[in-house]
Structure 1
């Protein structure tokens, strides 16, 4: 019995060491993106991204915690507007600030999470007119620590966050394309 437990423990230790060694060899940066086409001009969509309060109205992350504590500071929109939040285990805590605003084609943000895991990533939205529609792309990129690399091997940043970006873009699309509703919340 003790020998079996010892063999299992050694096997698990070797497996863990192999996983960490493999993760260590992986690239130190990540990038993933999702896109959708929206039946509207970039001018109708841009305000919903360039204003973090409006962004919160369609963000998939906001819906995960109805009791999220949010504080907005800085200008009403554009460069310097900041959103600090503290939420449940599904939302975590952190802040995002708009660092770039090129109407109506691009919004850049710096995302800093403090919980559940500290990280600092760049988020970019691009809006490209396309045959009477607009292709909106939501991308995120950043550097990965060894712990983040291990998580990326096991779970995958793209698999973890990609579906959230897809859900958010779907909600944005519905919000903008809804008949008779103003695009700006």
Structure 2
């Protein structure tokens, strides 16, 4: 009985500690990664704004070679939507282009599985000179208390994906 009491007390202390820590963790987070690409800004922008091109550089799409993808609207235009349904690593959801301005591409992400949620993401492509530019991938997330405890591991996981995405995009475009 004493062991059970100590075990329950230990678990209670851990849970209380996590709940207290969650008070100090921001509900919102932003993840960015920037890579320099030796291609003109317009060429990179025109490539990245096409949702259909993501299967060539996105690590999310690489996670399931059998992912089912459908499109609606005109690809590369505001309102274009990509719907995906894949394995447990890829999940199910959609993304819709909500803003294009020649330098920035913003999408609204609607995740269905494994977790329901709506987030925003984007790409910012800025010229360095006439033959190179930077591509910054950005993701905006938010979780309410106490789920905001997951923001730290989520941010670390997404940062790894973004590094891979940037390297894939750079390699794809520079070797084109």
TM-score (norm 1): 0.88
8 Å CA contact 1:80, 1:99 repeated in 2: yes
Q: Cα deviation per residue 1:152-185 (whole Å; 9 max; x = unaligned)?
A: 24x2x3211011011011111001100xx3xxxx
4+ long deviations beyond 2 Å: 145-148
Q: Which residue of 2 aligns with 1:161?
A: 158
Q: How does 1:33-52 map to 2 (within 5 A)?
A: 33-52=32-51
Alignment of 1:5-44 (within 5 A): 5-44=4-43
Q: What's the C-alpha RMSD, in Å, of the aligned pairs?
A: 1.4
1:54 aligned onto 2:50: no
- Alignment counterpart, residue 174 of structure 1, candidates 168, 171, 174: 171
The residue aligned with 1:68 is 67
Alignment partners' CA distance in 2, 1:83 and 1:26? 32
Contact 1:123–1:140 (CA under 8 A) maintained in structure 2: yes
Counterparts of 1:12 and 1:152, CA distance in 2 = 22
Report what 1:83 is aligned to: 82
3-state SS of paired residue (2:59)? coil
C-alpha separation in 2, matches of 1:151 and 1:158: 8
- Contact 1:47/1:54 (8 A) holds in 2: no
Structure-2 residue corresponding to 1:98: 97
> Aligned pairs, how many?
175
Flag structure 1 segments of 5+ consecutive residues without an equivalent. none
Displacement of 1:141 in angstroms is 0.7
TM superposition score normalised by structure 2: 0.93
SS at match of 2:127: strand
Unpaired stretches in structure 2, ≥5 consecutive residues: none
CA contact (8 A) 1:95 1:112 kept: yes
